[in-house]
């Protein structure tokens, strides 16, 4: 079946512009996560959605970052007034509804490579 | 200090070698320990997970956990060029969400 898809695969933007990154989770998965992968930093958690609950935004680095999840499916991560330090790979993951760590395994998309000039 | 430390490498080994990849962690609340493999320009995929201290085998891969030392390892036997990837250790945070705390990843290259 189809995995997690993300678009665009690459994005080049100028400093100060806004960008939107899209994630299509695996059908039926109720949990959705955004992570950021930077050189030397590894993957860092950004935000988590679970069903209709309020999202966990504890990993967002600044108020320039926001995310939405419409209809419990597709999610959009928005970065306003981009800065050069925002350059990274933004990864989305989804998992089934489960409180279990293993039954709630996260499946990752290929990521969006963002370059801010 | 990061909660999870991992040597970034790169690590280059000949085909057939035994590879040892390691992580240390500082948060004693971590209970599950995962290894993800990430090929170039792809998302990470779960390779193995362990819960308790000790060893867990899956084919050519062995995951080892020493909770007393807060040290985890992944061993790859008879390494193949197809094992060339970045290996990331990850630990889910307790509480809601299973948010993962990752190491920085070790880049492995297995050469013919």
Q: Which two tokens stand for residue A41?
A: 């930093």
Model confidence at B52, pLDDT cuts 50, 70, 90, reads: confident
Numbers of helices and strands, H then E, in chain A: 0, 10
Q: Which of A38, A58, A62 is nearest to A48 (CA)?
A: A58
Chain B residues lying within 8 Å of A110, measured CB to CB: 41-43
Spell out which residues of chain A touch residue B40, defining contact as CB-CB under 8 Å. none
Q: Does B32 touch chain A (CB under 8 A)?
A: yes
pLDDT of residue B98: 80
Task: Give the nearest partner residue to A104 out of B41, B98, B104, using CB atoms.
Answer: B98
What per-residue confidence (pLDDT) applies to B41? 92
CA angle A56–A88–A53, rounded 5-degree value: 15
- Nearest CB to A110 within list B41, B100, B104: B41
The Cα A70–Cα A77 span in angstroms is 12
Nearest CB to B99 within list A4, A45, A109: A45
The per-residue pLDDT for B62 is 97
The answer to whether B18 and B85 have CB atoms below 8 angstroms apart is no
Pairing of strands A31-38, B33-38: unpaired
Name the residue with higher pLDDT: B4 or B93: B4
Interval A47-64: pLDDT, tens = 999 888 889 999 999 999
Q: How many CB pairs under 8 A join A and B?
A: 61
- Mean pLDDT, residues A76-97: 95
Beta-strand relationship, A88-95 and A31-38: antiparallel
Check residue B69 and give left, alpha or beta (phi > 0: left; psi -120 to 50: alpha): alpha
- Scanning B72-111 for CB atoms below 8 A from A yields 88, 90, 92, 96-105
Mean pLDDT over the full length of chain A: 92
Mean pLDDT of all residues in B63-90: 96
């Amino acid at each position: 079946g189809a995995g997690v898809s993300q678009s665009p695969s690459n994005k080049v933007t100028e400093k100060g512009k806004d960008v939107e990154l899209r994630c299509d989770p695996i059908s039926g998965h109720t949990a959705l996560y955004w992570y950021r992968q930077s050189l030397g930093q590894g993957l860092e958690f950004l935000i988590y959605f679970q069903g209709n609950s309020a999202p966990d935004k504890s990993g967002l680095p600044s108020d320039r970052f926001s995310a939405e999840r419409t209809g419990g499916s597709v999610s959009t991560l928005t970065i306003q007034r981009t800065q050069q330090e925002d350059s990274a790979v933004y990864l989305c993951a989804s998992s089934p509804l489960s409180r279990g760590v293993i039954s709630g395994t996260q499946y990752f998309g290929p990521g969006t490579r963002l370059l801010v000039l | 200090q990061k909660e999870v430390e991992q040597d970034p490498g790169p690590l280059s080994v000949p085909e057939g070698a035994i590879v040892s990849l390691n992580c240390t962690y500082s948060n004693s609340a971590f209970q599950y320990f995962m290894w993800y493999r990430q090929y170039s320009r792809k998302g990470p995929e779960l390779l193995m997970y362990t819960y308790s201290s000790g060893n867990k085998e899956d084919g050519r891969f062995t995951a080892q956990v020493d909770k007393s030392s807060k040290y985890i390892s992944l061993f790859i036997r008879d390494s193949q060029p197809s094992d060339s990837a970045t290996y990331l250790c990850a630990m889910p945070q307790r509480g809601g969400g299973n948010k993962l705390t990752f190491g920085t990843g070790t880049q492995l290259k297995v050469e013919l």
